Chain A
């Protein structure tokens, strides 16, 4: 009998040891344990950034923690996908404060998942609506209230390879200024090898990824109705034109009517693949760096990426050409923002942290938010900060910032179906490109799919705003 009890005891002990070993500790780091001992309140911050961006962000947050004797911010990198935040909110255990992309906010804010921040923002320096880029402020606005603080954004320009221009007999200092020139230059920059192989291309409207939404806006089209509560793209002639124009880049090589810049579908796909396959984008084998693609639309982060991965590349930055007569536009599709989930257990402490992050440290010392944008080479979401000298020191970076400063942006408006809509614009372009669908049919398909989903979520949006 005694031996039986002894073995039970032994087993229980073994289980206890294993459990003790696996049990998540209350505090993750020594600094956190120290903060706990000193009676500081620990708040959790979920960061959508990863890798070096997360490290940079963390470095700034450490500065906040060092300056505090009351609050300690514990960070966790969760990535940009919505699943983790969704399940945390649905289960009633969200982080105290979190960063996310605008689409995520748009999907969750109408359900009352976030704390409205407008009245608090009105009391803070540099957080008035005018301080932000207009379109970014609109992105965090739902039902007339503000649910997040925009932190970062991107701006897109045309990058061109000067060496390729020289080789093609083009002036390396003169980028294409009109859509016609873009087409002509692209044709001249296409280099065919022996046996019909294509060794270099000039341009493709969906490199390095899909730009269908942007091209619609750049053609002067409008994807939505006036209230932005319905997709009406199929009846907008300019949207239709933009999709037809994208389709014209892929043609049967034997088609005598094919424009000079058009490429065989297989060739186009092979070049598209060159960016996505095996992490090529973030490496020296990026087809723009290796000279396989001579012109491309890209974001401001390339100002750091190119010197890092392709230091010998001779390149320039210019606005992306638009069709003649179309109103000038910049492209800034989304924003990274901070928000406080309504289930946050420490909303006041979260606000203290955000107040510190977005305020200037002193008269001549920029805010940590500006530091963050500068250190990871993004554009800060506030106009006041984007015009700081640090963001115009690099003449190339300045072109990107200038676009946002001087032209209204094409951006994804705040909408609970924004993510579906964005995905479907790409699907529409792919259907056209592969010849599976005519442009108009593809747009009609997009319209019916997105509008049906909008109908499903709409009653919710209205009822959430009622009280």
Chain B
């Protein structure tokens, strides 16, 4: 501590006047966020822990019921259905979405004239508001007049199916096809992941490709042995973000099934069931318990992925 600190009359480790002012100004500038975080995030977070142990309808004061909500969850068949649906969606949409995003990123990584236009085109769907895109997809998936079945009919797929006694799917209103429809739809907004993969691809050291060239590797081999291992950190990131997003999947299915999760609960995903419990049937306590259960599930899955990542994620220079 120099003479300056002694002059300020404070002991060792104290801040100078400038530092104090900077801290004050810094806190002042960050205060809207800090306030918002405490009031709109931390408090509801903490309150929901308490409510999850209560019978609470949002109007009367909560009544402590201990572990009742959690016990009820164990015996709730609809909850199991919704959990299955969420897992189905996650397993269907996340890995395929990543494969799809990598393929697109590799294609969009070519040095072609106007490539930035293509990149923009594939990113555009990501900008469309979720509700608008969900309504749009209602039209695309309409079995009678929709674009998808229209294309399939033009390709005479319906004729081929009819020959084996099948018909074109009713997509969202078919109990077998409803969830695959949502998974299919999720690939539409893969543009965000593509952009991240493009950044990952740009980070692959050129020297490795040169070495591979000298070793006589073809394009496929280079992709498999150089590109793919080098973008595993990006894959890990997209995998974790994708998992979290898929577990919280809500908006599109809410819009497309008018909040019912039909037909026959086949698209009743976990977040939608939670929402119904909270805001349709006013069972806030149960919904809070469901929320924490979801948190634990996402945490376990994320930790699981991170744990296995030691074996398949490679960092350049390690």
State the A residues within 8 Å of B (CB): 82-83, 86-87, 89-90, 107-108, 111-113, 195-196, 266, 269-270, 272-274, 276-278, 417, 419-420, 423, 426-427, 430-431, 433-434, 436, 445, 449, 452-453, 456-457, 460
* Residues of the B chain whose Cβ atoms lie less than 8 Å from the Cβ of A269: 170, 173-174, 263
Beyond A270-B143, A445-B77, is A86–B279 a contact (Cβ under 8 Å)?
yes
Q: Bound state CA distance, A410 and B126, in angstroms?
A: 47
- Complex CA gap A270/B146 in Å reads 12
Bound CA–CA A80/B245 (angstroms)? 30
Q: A83-B279, A453-B283 are in contact. Are A195 and B162 (CB under 8 A)?
A: yes
A-B contact pairs, 23 of them (CB 8 A): A82-B279, A82-B280, A86-B58, A86-B279, A111-B59, A111-B60, A112-B59, A269-B170, A269-B263, A270-B173, A273-B143, A273-B173, A276-B173, A276-B258, A278-B139, A278-B142, A419-B281, A420-B280, A430-B175, A430-B262, A434-B175, A436-B175, A453-B283
Asked if A456 contacts B175 (CB within 8 A), the reply is: no
Cβ of B173 and Cβ of A278 under 8 Å apart?
no
Known: A423-B260, A434-B175, A456-B55. 14 other contacts (CB 8 A): A82-B282, A86-B279, A90-B58, A90-B59, A269-B263, A277-B142, A277-B143, A277-B146, A427-B262, A427-B264, A431-B264, A433-B264, A434-B264, A453-B283
Known: A195-B162, A430-B264. A266 touches B170 (CB 8 A): yes
Which residues in B have their C-beta under 8 angstroms from that of A430? 175, 262-265
Q: Is B186 an interface residue (CB 8 A)?
A: no
Q: B78 at interface (Cβ–Cβ under 8 A)?
A: yes
Contact of A107 (CB < 8 Å), options: B55, B72, B139, B282: B282
Residues of B within 8 A of A452 (CB): 72
Cβ-defined contact, A270 with B279, below 8 A? no
A87 / chain B contacts, CB cutoff of 8 Å: 58
The residue on B at minimum CB distance from A435 is B175
Q: Which residues of B contact A453 (CB under 8 A)?
A: 281, 283
CB distance from B239 to the nearest CB of A (A): 33
Taking the closest CB of chain A, its distance from the CB of B43, in whole angstroms, is: 14
| Cβ–Cβ contact A270 & B170, under 8 A | yes
Q: Interface code B171-187, partner A: CB below 8 Å = 1, 0 otherwise?
A: 01111000000000000
State A426–B264 Cα separation when bound (angstroms): 8
Q: Closest 4 A-B residue pairs measured CB to CB?
A: A430-B264, A277-B142, A111-B59, A273-B173
Residues in B neighbouring A431, C-beta threshold 8 A: 264
The complex places the Cα of A272 from the Cα of B173 at a distance, in Å, of 8
What is the total number of residues of chain B having a CB less than 8 Å from a CB of chain A? 33
Shortest distance from the beta carbon of A436 to any chain B beta carbon, whole Å:
6
B167 within 8 A of A: yes
- Residues from chain B with a CB closer than 8 A to the CB of A457 are 57
B274 to chain A, nearest CB (A): 14
Taking the closest CB of chain A, its distance from the CB of B79, in whole angstroms, is: 11
Cβ A274 vs Cβ B144 within 8 A: yes
Chain B residues with CB under 8 Å of A273's CB are: 142-144, 170, 172-173
Give chain B's interface residues, CB within 8 Å of chain A. 55, 57-60, 72, 77-78, 138-139, 142-146, 162, 167, 170, 172-175, 258, 260, 262-265, 279-283
Q: How far is the CB of B261 from chain A (nearest CB, A)?
A: 9
Q: Which residue of A lies closest to B259 (CB)?
A: A81
Question: Separation in Å of the B136 CB from the closest CB of chain A?
Answer: 10
Question: In the complex the two chains form, what is the Cα distance from A430 to B72 in whole Å?
Answer: 24
**Closest chain B residue to A416, Cβ basis:** B282
Within the complex, the shortest CB–CB distance from A139 to chain B, in Å, comes to: 18
Contact B57 A266 (CB under 8 A): no
A83: chain B residues at CB < 8 Å are 279
Q: How far is the CB of B194 from chain A (nearest CB, A)?
A: 29
Least Cβ distance of B214 to chain A in Å?
58
Contacts of A90 in B (CB 8 A): 58-59
What residue of chain A has the Cβ atom nearest to residue B138's Cβ? Answer: A278
Q: Quote the shortest CB–CB distance from A256 to chain B (angstroms).
A: 17
CB of A460 within 8 A of CB of B78, answer no
- B258 neighbours in A (Cβ, 8 Å): 276
Q: For residue B267, give the distance in angstroms from its CB to the closest CB of chain A.
A: 12
> Which residue of chain A lies nearest to B169 when distances are taken between CB atoms in the complex?
A266
Known: A86-B59, A453-B283. A266 touches B174 (CB 8 A): yes
- Roughly how many angstroms separate A89 CA and B59 CA in the complex, as a whole number? 7
CB–CB B282/A456 < 8 A: no
Query: How near does chain A come to B280, taking the closest CB pair, in angstroms?
Result: 6
The interface residues of chain B lying within 8 Å CB-to-CB of A89 are: 59
Give Cα A113 to B283, complex, Å: 16
Report the bound CA distance from A72 to B227 in whole Å.
70
Which of B138, B145, B264, B279 has the largest count of A CB atoms less than 10 A from its CB? B264
User: Whose C-beta in chain B lies nearest to the C-beta of A196?
Assistant: B162
Supposing A82-B279, A430-B262 touch, asked if A113 and B59 sit within 8 A by C-beta, the answer is yes
In the complex, the answer to whether A434 meets B281 with C-beta atoms within 8 Å is no
With A82-B279, A266-B170, A436-B175 as known contacts, state yes or no: A108 contacts B59, CB within 8 Å.
yes
Contacts of A195 in B (CB 8 A): 162
How far apart are A162's CB and chain B's nearest CB, in angstroms?
A: 24
Shortest distance in angstroms between A275's beta carbon and chain B's nearest beta carbon?
10
Given A274-B144, A430-B263, A266 contacting B167 (CB threshold 8 A) = yes
Interchain CA distance A449-B77 in the complex, whole Å: 9
Chain B residue numbers with a CB within 8 Å of A427 are 262, 264-265
Are A277 and B264 closer than 8 Å at their CB atoms?
no
A423–B281 Cα distance when bound, in Å, is: 10
Q: Which residues of A contact B142 (CB under 8 A)?
A: 273, 277-278
- Among B146, B260, B263, B265, chain A packs the most CB atoms within 10 A around the CB of B263
Most A CB within 10 A of own CB, among B55, B59, B142, B146: B59
- Tell me whether B138 and A277 are in contact (CB under 8 A): yes
Cα–Cα distance between A434 and B167 once the two chains are bound (Å): 17
A419 to B277 Cα, complex, angstroms: 11
